[in-house]
Chain A
Amino acid sequence: MQVFAFHLMPYPALPEDFPQRYGPPWVKLPNTLYDPKVGEQVYEQALAEFAQADALGFDGVCVNEHHQTAYGTMPSPNLMAAALTRVTQRAKIAVLGNALPLRGNPLRVAEEIAMLDVLSHGRIISGFVRGIGAEYHSFGVNPAFSHDRFHEAHDLIVAAWTRPGPFRWDGRHYQFPYVNPWPRPVQTPHPPIWIPSQGSRETIRWAAERRYTYLQTFSPIEHVERYMRLYWQVCEEEFGYTPAFGQLGWAIPIFVGRTDEEARALAKPHIEYFYERLLVMPTEYFFPPGYLSPQSMAGVLQAKRGLTEGGAANSIDALIAAGRFVCGSAKTVFEKLAETSQRLRIGVLTGMFQFATLPHALAMENLLRFADEVKPRLEAINRD
């Protein structure tokens, strides 16, 4: 497997009672709670963790985009990726991803990814996402055009990287008389494209058709299983090819301790904070109208499903049982990851080794222990 280290750069110093006082940490959590001095530390520590992952031989490091939230304080993943071109030497740098419909001008994404690819000597992986529903509230972007804008922006960016410029672009949402970005990317035909998603048949079909790596993010194991199998099936039955291991990715928080008991005790408050307090929002935030297809939306409303499930479902035991967190001794962690990856033919693991309030020192130990005792054995399986 290829093993990547992912980081959200979450804000770790919210008041204890923030959910009662302000509600979910998205959209309307007052930014007066953000202390730039704490922010400096968050960035410094995350960059140090990434540098360590690079030194420990991880295949890559991953950043992503979130807006106006304590969940992840990285509105521009491209800026952080630029910093990573300086603090890492060998690791690939995966931007997972640019939220295309939220970006006013897709040509800027084409340009910035190309810049990063040149700056990193061809180490960039370019993820594309639509952004979380809450971010359509934060950014004043119409969710009813989210799918359309995503697809057109993607087509335009790939064209900008691959077609000799200048050329015209006259699309539904974007029009340019001269598409002609300087620089062009180092990698040919362009940096690998990854599609992180919570899963939908439409997205999987779209990614499988283009042989893009599909990355299932922070999901219960039953969803990981359903979508990995679906991707495989769509590749074989609809598009007539067998996907490479590297086309199936799994993003999940991981914590390795000396023993199962120690790992659980150390991780417990932080992983529960992550799922119970940070990754939580009402349906109206998560699924603004038009963000999902009408069929998916009707299902969501009927099931009253949002990210609102709280309490017992987010206890560490329940999270581990549901496969939303892998935690334990190196042996336990390896067995869990290897079993799932072999069963589902997953070839890309993006582990999140720092989550929510997990202190920097523990995150560094976690990376170190994972790199020493788990990664070498994982690397031996599902290699293309």
Chain B
Amino acid sequence: MGAVHDNWLDIRGHRLHYLWAEGGTGTPVVFLHGAGGAGPWFDCLDRLSVERPVYYPEHPGFGASDLPDWLETVTDLALYYWDVFDRLGLERVNLIGASFGGWLAAELAVQQPQRVARLVLVDAVGVMPPTEDAPDFFMIPPDQVGRWVFAHPDRIPPAPPPDPAIAVKNRTTVARFAWHPRFYNPKLRHWLYRIQCPTLVVWGREDRLIPPAMAEPYLAGIPQAQLVLIDDAGHVPWREQPERFLSAVRSHLQGA
């Protein structure tokens, strides 16, 4: 586990902000955040960085990163990320994508399957419309999102309120990419067969925001996919059950 660095990239005139930590000699991990934005570095990233470098970028249009005006779809966003990986010198990566970031990770793995060593999709959107029992994300007042995200909101220590300007920026960027169709790319399921690497589909068993039924098209479409359900966890299992989450992810990344 190394020091955490706070850096910027200039991608053809647009700034991208990322955190990263040096680690062992394994293939680097890139953790792709969800609709809520990146927020600070967190414990699971630290522990993953024992074996390999870990990168934690803020997507274009989120947090401190710029949004090139012409990026309009998650497919565009994924193409953009190959420039980011090229600039970081990441020839092959392990991708962990959470929620909205899972959609992005799946698109990346479809685009350049040979550059993805292992894929981890965590409570991921992207491949089918929300099930009937899922809430409409854009109808949830921002201060009530926590009730949908956690299996046990009462056990989560209160977080400091986000910077309102950043919260607005993140939500607007999410709308840009996910308002219509709502959180999925209708084409994506037809391309999942291209993903060659072993893929772990991790889901909080009690995820009410993106219910576990939404894992099915990923499991059906990706040739080497397996499901791990995490008990007592909702939409962000690395926060509610970090040990279970880490153990599943670590064993999946082993050898990569």
Contact = CB atoms under 8 A, between A and B. Distances in A.
B164 A302 contact: yes
A341 B91 CA distance: 68
Q: Which of A140, A145, A301, A302: most chain B CB closer than 10 A?
A: A301
Interface stretch (A255-263, A280-288, A369-377): A280-288
Contact of A140 (B142, B165, B167, B180): B180
A137 interface: yes
Please classify the interface of chain A as helix (H, G, I), strand (E, B), loop, or mixed, using the class held by over half of its residues.
helix
Q: Which of B140, B164, B171, B179: most chain A CB closer than 10 A?
A: B179
Interface string B171-194: 111111001100000000000000
B171 A289 contact: yes
A301 B172 contact: no
A132 to B, nearest CB: 15
Nearest to B70: A172
A141 B179 CA distance: 8
Interface in A239-298: 282-285, 288-290, 294, 297-298
A356 to B, nearest CB: 25
A301 B167 CA distance: 10
B138 A290 contact: no
B172 A144 contact: yes
A340 interface: no
A196 interface: no
B141 A294 contact: no
Contact of A142 (B139, B141, B175): B175
Q: Which of B140, B171, B172, B176: most chain A CB closer than 10 A?
A: B172
B168 A142 contact: no
A141 B168 contact: no
Interface residues of B, number: 19
A280 to B, nearest CB: 15
Given A137-B139, A283-B141, A301-B168, A290 B180 contact: no
Interface in B105-148: 136, 138-142
A145 B176 contact: yes
Given A298-B165, A301-B164, A289 B138 contact: yes
A106 interface: no
Please classify the interface of chain B as helix (H, G, I), strand (E, B), loop, or mixed, using the class held by over half of its residues.
helix
B15 interface: no
Contacts of A142: 175-176, 179-180
A302 B164 CA distance: 8
A283 B136 CA distance: 14
B151 to A, nearest CB: 23
Contact of B179 (A143, A285, A298): A143
B169 interface: yes
Contacts of B175: 142-144, 288-290
Nearest to B164: A298
A111 to B, nearest CB: 25
B138 A294 contact: no
B238 to A, nearest CB: 25
Contact of A284 (B138, B172, B176): B138
Contacts of A283: 141
Interface in A13-63: none
Nearest to A140: B180
Interface string A116-136: 000000000000000000001
Interface string A309-330: 0000000000000000000000
A297 B164 CA distance: 9
B168 A294 contact: yes
A142 B175 CA distance: 7
Contacts of B173: 144
Contacts of A301: 142, 164, 167-168
Interface in B183-219: none
A294 B165 contact: yes
Contact of A290 (B142, B164, B176): B176
B138 A137 contact: yes
21 contacts: A137-B138, A140-B179, A140-B180, A141-B180, A142-B175, A142-B176, A144-B172, A144-B179, A282-B141, A284-B140, A288-B138, A289-B174, A289-B179, A290-B172, A290-B175, A294-B168, A294-B172, A297-B168, A301-B164, A301-B167, A301-B168
Given A143-B175, A284-B141, 7 more contacts: A142-B175, A144-B179, A282-B141, A284-B138, A294-B169, A298-B165, A301-B167
What 5 pairs across the A-B complex have the smallest Cβ distances? A144-B176, A289-B175, A289-B171, A142-B179, A290-B172
